[in-house]
Structure 1
Amino acid sequence: MSLLRPIGITLGLLLSWQLIVWLTDAPRFILPGPLLVFNTLIDQFPLLMKHAGVTLAEILLGMLLGAGLGLISALSLITWGRLRRWLLPVLVISQAIPVFALAPVLMLWLGYGMTSKVAMATLIIYFPVTAACFDGLRQTPTGYLQLARTLGAGRRTQLLQIRLPAALPAFGSGLRVAASVAPIGAVVGEWVGSSTGLGYLMLHANARMQVDLMFAALLVLAVMALALYFSVNLIARRLTPWLNESTSSVTRGDTP
């Protein structure tokens, strides 16, 4: 049953797409049909995989750096009050600047290679992860901390063994958001300036009126984004097994 639902949704979307093509009689250079896009996907598979590998590397590196820096920042904010008073307003104010507007500046500073795209993905990931993890650390149940102090636990022990495990669900939520927006950062960076990647391939195909190739690249990007999201979701659920157990109990109607 779990597999039938996504298969049914996919088939429904493909059928709706084909119906729109038939009803509007749109030319293939405006809206190609799913069969034409699928054939292009097969014919241009090596080219698509070459550019997809570059984009995937940019996304994964951006995820790793953004999540790592976000976790470190959240731990620093919860540990040092003076740093929190200075850094937290800066983080909030920084969100007033659209991250996409920084793409040309990053190209100027870091060049047209992979570094600028990784930096773009990192920036777009950093704040959601930091904010989610910081909220999780801050909302640790007070009773846990009081009990730890009673037992003589120091600040480091409280942070690593109580606050951090309690913040894992919020951190997982931040990672899910990051997995959703990381491809956006990488592709926008490729649109601004690049010679490789799916974003570059889509612009190149659009300029040559190869709309079927553009749709094929978009389809590959969508599959990558979905795979990344579900992978992150699986990791987050493995890190918080007690949440899965409680959810299962509620679903079954069990009472404590």
Structure 2
Amino acid sequence: MSLGDDTGRTRTRLPEAGGDPYGGARRNGRSSSRSLVTVVGVVVLLIAAIAFANRGGGDSDAEEGGDSPKAAATAPTGEKPIASGFAHDRQGAESAAANYSVVLGSAEMFDKEQRRDIVTAVFTPDVAAARQGDLDAAYSNQEFLANIGLDKSGKAPAGQTFVSRVVPVGTKATAFSANEATVEVWYTSLFGLSGEGSTNPVTESWYTTTYQLQWIDNDWKVVDFQQKDGPVPVGRDQKASTADDMTKAVEEYGGFTYAR
């Protein structure tokens, strides 16, 4: 996630591994276990968590075993993997920002080919072309991948599932014209590895990202964004799910293509 500095450059906030084992007490979203990995000059929305894990289940045929749920693909549901064709109005700009939060915060961003498709679809052409190399370097950083428990290819260890999903809670357009819009997206995110033996269990965080959008080629595209923590709600005293329950949830509940 990017944060501007006095030089006009963009800093990228990436999540780092850490946290209590599965089954422990609920963690605070502002826990000190989350730290910063700064990448100068990279425009990337890696939300410290949401949208799809990088493994899935079977097809959409009839389920086996009666009422037993069939594992659904954890790729987003919907006809298009990356939402597009938003209305040329204020609501369309808000919808674009919400949906771009989902795909930019997804586990697919850790796959080189899928990441390039996402960046091309989400950003304006000039921004996308200028940032692809920086993004490839950021997401292939071996120290960063190791810290979050992934191998050099961005894959989870055997028996574990990488979870990175963003769930938009609300949007607000703070500025709007025919060709430009500024939209704030408030969301919660899930990030970590589910499965037995995970040293980076799935945790939740809360953020607000402000997007600068431009109307180009008959659609809203991202020019830049800034992210900040919160608002963070008061947590309830709910016991954390077991590794097995979390893995089943990730496998059986697919993410969404269309967020709003």
TM-score scaled by length of structure 1:
0.19
If you compute each CA radius of gyration, which structure gives the higher value, 1 or 2?
A: 1
More helix by share: 1
